[in-house]
Amino acid sequence: MSKELQITNSLLWASAIIASAVLQAPHALTFLVLPSLAVVSWLFTATRNRSKP
């Protein structure tokens, strides 16, 4: 994983967790949104790594 992608991924995760805490999101929403972000992040990273020669 490239350094830029790693930094971007970390910032997105941090903003999602902080927004969830600041907005006092319900636990059910948090249990749905954060895992879905994890899956999308994982799929994006896996797809990007597969496309490299």
In the DSSP assignment, the letter for residue 23 is T
Nearest to 42 by CA among 13, 3, 4: 13
1 Cβ contact partners less than 8 Å away, ≥ 6 residues apart: 9, 45, 48, 49
> Tens place of pLDDT for every residue, the chain, 53 residues?
677 877 887 888 888 888 888 888 788 777 887 888 778 877 877 776 666 65
Number of other CB atoms surrounding residue 2 within 10 Å:
10
Prediction pTM value:
0.56
Number of other CB atoms surrounding residue 47 within 10 Å:
9
